[in-house]
């Protein structure tokens, strides 16, 4: 803990200096799973990339004390040694604890436990003036809950205390094929009230092929298991598609727990397939195995940012009431024609919150009243023409709220004007927290998520670099080069495999 205290002291001193000089600054974390443009100019920045350690696991209290830059695979490996696991584990192993808390992070256990931040019991933060404080349900509770989803704009998280639950060896995973979008949504809503499940999500492959996926942790010895982390393994979504394509009833298999938790890593759900389309390269078992180093999410994100292609893909997560989810998918099918779609039921965070909140009908589940929304992952190619791309995203933002009562997650590109943005999100509660905790010198959430269209257009005109990156295949080749240089394909053996 002494090394941690020293690092936090140095970070706090840097923040205090910027505050006293009234200079804005950005934070360098060392990695990102956002598709928004990354920080390049580091003249005014605070480096917290060294905060990457699991500090303590308390098996008796079932809690872990962890620094913000610890990625999910390292967190899971550390807690599994004690037979424990976080209630909500993000499906991409490179997502960090701090990113999951300050961003919006949900997974297939979120129907039961809510978003990742609902498992956080306390945080250590450096405020905008350099003061170091603790926030928990007993002290500064408004900061603990209010910081979640605000992208670090209320202060720097330097340590997190997180609840843990008992882990078991396998996830008994059942695939329920459905003949329509409507049937898939209805079944996922029905299954999400069954607390015997530990995990629920769904994939809609087309208008006439959906699959609801349920999972229960178990120590039952299954004999044969299915894995997804090795180069010889199938990608999870292709495996589910093949397994259910001609079935009318459920089918069950057993997956080792960490293999289940990170089942979507290879291929980044299915977004990795777009790289094959970009290069007009064959997409089959042989090519996926040959290129496996490039097709894990850490490498995919690195290449995506370096290539400049992140601004040409539609990468959006949307929160919808169940009542409008089918109509919304009809809209996306017509306007975007993007398949598959990911479905994930999530227990809502009560307001005030910057996490997604939609008007839903609460339900009684095991003596608890809960509200859930359905997260829909819309990830695919957009128009190459910049104006058409922006217009399509603007239409999505407008229709989402006005016609479907939904709201988008803020890890991706956002095209709202500032007035439009604050009509959707709770500015009054947020500004109150910024004032109370001396965060007014920090960028606001809108500052961090807005797409500066004029600046982007000007860069395209002035420099050869943006022009080159926009030309196929130069941008993609540059992305591959930078991804290789990052060495994020190493180590090839995940840290949890031998626990």
Nearest CA among 458, 313, 317, 321 for reference residue 392: 313
Residue 473: predicted pLDDT: 84
Give me the phi and psi of 85, to 5 degrees please: -155, 145
Cis amide prior to 491 (ω within 30 degrees): yes
* Neighbouring C-alpha atoms within 13 Å toward the C-beta of 343: 33
- What residues contact 216, with CB distance under 8 A and at least 6 apart? 171, 172, 196, 197, 198, 199
Residue 458: predicted pLDDT: 47
Intervals of the chain under pLDDT 50: 36, 39, 457-462
Helix 297-307 with 474-486: angle, nearest 10 deg: 130
Residue 460: predicted pLDDT: 46
The percent of residues above 70 in pLDDT, for the chain, comes to 92
* Neighbouring C-alpha atoms within 13 Å toward the C-beta of 276: 18
Residue 462: predicted pLDDT: 47
In angstroms, how far apart are the furthest CA atoms of the chain?
66
Mean pLDDT, all residues of the chain: 91
Nearest CA among 225, 222, 295 for reference residue 265: 295
- What residues contact 2, with CB distance under 8 A and at least 6 apart? none
Task: Classify residue 166 by burial, with Cβ atoms within 10 Å: 0-12, 13-18, 19+.
Answer: exposed
DSSP of 234-287, one letter per residue? PPHHHHHHHHHTT-SS-EEEEEEHHHHHTTTTTTTTTTTHHHHHHTT---SHHH
Residue 348: predicted pLDDT: 93
Residue 223: predicted pLDDT: 85
Nearest CA among 398, 378, 394 for reference residue 386: 394
Residue 454 burial (CB count, 10 A)? 7
By three-state DSSP, how is residue 12 classified?
helix
What's the alpha-carbon Rg for the chain, to the nearest Å?
A: 22
- What the block records as the tokens of 452 is 């500066």
- What the block records as the tokens of 235 is 């990608």
pTM attached to this predicted model:
0.93
Strand pairing report for 26-28 and 45-47: parallel
Residue 499: predicted pLDDT: 85
39-87 pLDDT per residue, tens: 455 567 899 999 999 999 999 999 999 999 999 999 999 999 999 999 9
- What the block records as the tokens of 51 is 């905060």
Residue 352: predicted pLDDT: 87
Residue 91 burial (CB count, 10 A)? 23
CA distance 181 to 329: 8
Residues 295 and 233: beta-carbon distance below 8 Å: no
* Neighbouring C-alpha atoms within 13 Å toward the C-beta of 267: 23
């Amino acid at each position: 803990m002494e090394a941690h205290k020293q690092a936090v002291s140095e970070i706090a001193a840097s923040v205090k200096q910027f505050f006293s000089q009234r200079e804005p600054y950005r934070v360098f974390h060392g990695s990102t799973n956002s598709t928004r443009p990354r920080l390049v100019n580091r003249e005014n920045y605070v480096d917290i990339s060294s905060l990457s350690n699991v500090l303590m696991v308390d098996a008796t209290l079932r809690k872990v004390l962890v620094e913000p830059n610890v990625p999910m695979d390292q967190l899971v490996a550390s807690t599994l040694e004690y037979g424990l696991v976080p209630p909500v584990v993000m499906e991409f192993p490179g997502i960090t604890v701090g990113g999951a808390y300050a961003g919006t992070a949900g997974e297939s256990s979120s129907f039961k436990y809510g978003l990742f931040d609902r498992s956080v019991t306390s945080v250590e933060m450096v405020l905008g003036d350099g003061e170091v404080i603790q926030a928990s349900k007993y002290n500064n509770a408004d900061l603990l809950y209010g910081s979640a989803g605000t992208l670090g704009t209320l202060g720097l998280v330097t340590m997190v205390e997180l609840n843990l639950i008992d882990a078991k060896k396998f996830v008994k995973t059942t695939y329920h094929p459905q003949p329509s979008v409507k049937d898939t949504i209805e079944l996922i809503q029905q299954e999400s009230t069954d607390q015997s499940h530990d995990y629920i999500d769904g994939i809609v492959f087309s208008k006439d092929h959906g699959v609801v996926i349920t999972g229960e942790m178990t120590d039952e010895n299954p004999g044969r298991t299915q894995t997804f982390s090795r180069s010889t393994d199938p990608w999870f979504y292709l495996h589910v598609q093949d397994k259910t394509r001609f079935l009318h009833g459920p089918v069950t298999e057993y997956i080792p727990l960490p293999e289940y938790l990170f089942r979507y890593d290879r291929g980044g759900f299915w977004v990795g397939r777009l790289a094959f389309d970009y290069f007009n390269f064959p997409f089959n078992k042989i090519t996926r195995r040959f290129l496996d180093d490039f097709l894990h999410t850490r490498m995919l994100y690195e290449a995506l940012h370096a290539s400049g292609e992140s601004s040409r893909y539609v990468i959006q997560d949307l929160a919808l009431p169940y009542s409008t989810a089918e109509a919304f998918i009809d809209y996306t099918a017509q306007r975007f024609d993007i398949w598959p779609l990911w479905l994930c039921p999530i227990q809502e965070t009560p307001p005030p919150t910057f996490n997604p909140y939609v008007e839903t009908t609460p339900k009684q589940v095991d003596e608890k009243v809960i509200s859930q929304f359905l997260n829909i992952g819309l990830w695919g190619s957009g128009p190459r023409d910049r104006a058409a791309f922006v217009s399509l995203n603007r239409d999505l933002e407008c229709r989402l709220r006005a016609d479907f009562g939904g709201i988008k997650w803020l890890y991706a590109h956002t095209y709202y004007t500032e007035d439009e943005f604050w009509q959707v999100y709770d500015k009054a509660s947020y500004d109150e927290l910024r004032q109370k905790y001396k965060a007014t010198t920090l960028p606001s959430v809108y500052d961090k998520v807005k797409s500066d269209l004029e600046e982007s257009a000007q860069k395209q005109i002035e420099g050869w670099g943006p022009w080159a990156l926009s030309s196929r295949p130069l941008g993609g080749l540059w992305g591959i080069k930078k991804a290789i240089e990052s060495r994020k394909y190493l180590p090839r053996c995940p840290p949890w495999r031998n626990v």
